[in-house]
Amino acid sequence: MGGRMTRLLYEIDPYLSKFDATVVRVQGEWVILDRTAFFPGGGGQENDTGWMGGLDVKSVKPQGEEVLHQVPGNTFRIGDKVDCEIDWERRYDLMRGHTGEHLLFAMISKLNPEIELVKIAITPTKKSLMVRGAVDWPIIIQAQEQVNDSIAAQLPVSDVWASKDSEVIANIRIKVDRIHGEKVRIVSIGDLDKAACAGVHIQNTRELKMLLVTKLTSARPVGDYDIEFETGRQAMKKAMRLSNISLQAAELVKAQPEHLVNALTNLKSELQVAQEAMRSYGKQALARLEPEKMQGVRLYSGIFEGLDKKTLVDSANELVKGDRTVAIIVSRDERLMLIVATSKDLDLDSREILADGLKVVEGKGGGGKNFASGGASQPQKAKEALGAAKDGLRARLPPP
């Protein structure tokens, strides 16, 4: 190898948070010590941060067999003794997350051995594993329950070193990217799971207190899934918050909480049926629109819901095919839409009538002389918009 080697104290004692060490080299901001408890990151777990000689350790990374600590503003010299401290709260959270990941994936792969582990992210803000294969909520829920049973069973987490070609490693989950040297560290959780991993772990599953899956989303490429989770107090708080939300939602739709997903699925399809009916009524009403007389022109006007823009635009254009005809159509859905069309023989500008209507709803729009349209965010003011546009038309027509 040739290079020097940092003694990795976190491999001997992952609970060591304070230590002293000797500076062996300084490369600008980066400090190399004879030994360190700072985990440089690996296996998806983010590196530690903390303090060295009273200065912030911003980042830590491996380089060959050494660990580099980023300590901005340091004036350390070779041979200096430095007191070091890891940001323990942050690190302990990452250790639990990491061990939780082992346990969760172990349970998922027991339920379906075809599911592969693709990527792991254990950071202060996100704990997740990306997997490839048929993952769905029923599997996740079952795995989560077994994980929490294992937490309650207080299983020991231990590790042993084995040489890369030893028989011991034949029967374990190998994560090739986690194996660097000739030797492999094998991390066992009770007799449930064995995995090759160089990361830092807790000693007993009880330290997790709880594991909660908080998100299951499909990821890229197609067939991959991102599973997010939380452990400990954060998991408990989130579980309580989510259970409260689902109780409220269940009450709102008058369903038992256990039947909430079914109830919402039913409501969703009822809504689709209702929207379809509304669209069909809207089309019929639009087709049966009767004109009113206004100062020598025929005016078609009305308020509609659930119709797409194309239907409305086509109808408005169709209505003004005759002479001396104006159409003012308002649609009221999530937004408000106003359409003004005028037959070509009239000395009227659709844009001006549109502007009159949109003024009262603070909308925006544009178009040409014979056709203009615009929208606004206040669908509840459809009547006002129609009234204002009609008033605008009246004012722009020659008096009777």
Closest to Zn ion by CB, 197 vs 330, is 197
Identify the residue whose tokens are 């339920």.
111
Considering the complex, what minimum distance in angstroms separates the CB of residue 163 from Zn ion? 19
Considering the complex, what minimum distance in angstroms separates the CB of residue 187 from Zn ion? 5
Q: Of 322-341, which residues contact Zn ion (CB under 5 A)?
A: none
Interaction between residue 120 and Zn ion (CB under 5 A): no
User: Which of 51, 2, 11, 1 lies closest to 31, judged by CA?
Assistant: 51
User: Which of 118, 90, 334 lies closest to 226, judged by CA?
Assistant: 118
Considering the complex, what minimum distance in angstroms separates the CB of residue 55 from Zn ion? 30
Q: Which of 199, 357, 363, 379 binds Zn ion (CB under 5 A)?
A: 199
Closest to Zn ion by CB, 129 vs 319, is 129
Closest to Zn ion by CB, 207 vs 356, is 207
Which of the ranges 74-82, 124-132, 190-198, 382-390 carries the binding residues for Zn ion, by CB under 5 A? 190-198
Closest to Zn ion by CB, 199 vs 357, is 199
What order of strands is seen across the sheet that includes strand 224-231? 116-122, 127-132, 224-231, 211-219
Interaction between residue 232 and Zn ion (CB under 5 A): no
Closest to Zn ion by CB, 42 vs 50, is 42
Residue 237 in tokens? 């708080």
Which of the ranges 32-40, 193-201, 319-327, 382-390 carries the binding residues for Zn ion, by CB under 5 A? 193-201
Interaction between residue 14 and Zn ion (CB under 5 A): no
Interaction between residue 197 and Zn ion (CB under 5 A): yes
Per-residue contact flags (x/-) with Zn ion for residues 143 to 182, judged by CB under 5 A: ----------------------------------------
Q: Which residue number is nearest to Zn ion in terms of Cβ? A: 197
The residues with which 193 forms a beta bridge, in sequence order, are 189
Q: Of 18-37, which residues contact Zn ion (CB under 5 A)?
A: none
Closest to Zn ion by CB, 69 vs 98, is 98
Q: Of 70-109, which residues contact Zn ion (CB under 5 A)?
A: 98
Q: Return residues touching Zn ion (CB under 5 A).
A: 98, 197, 199
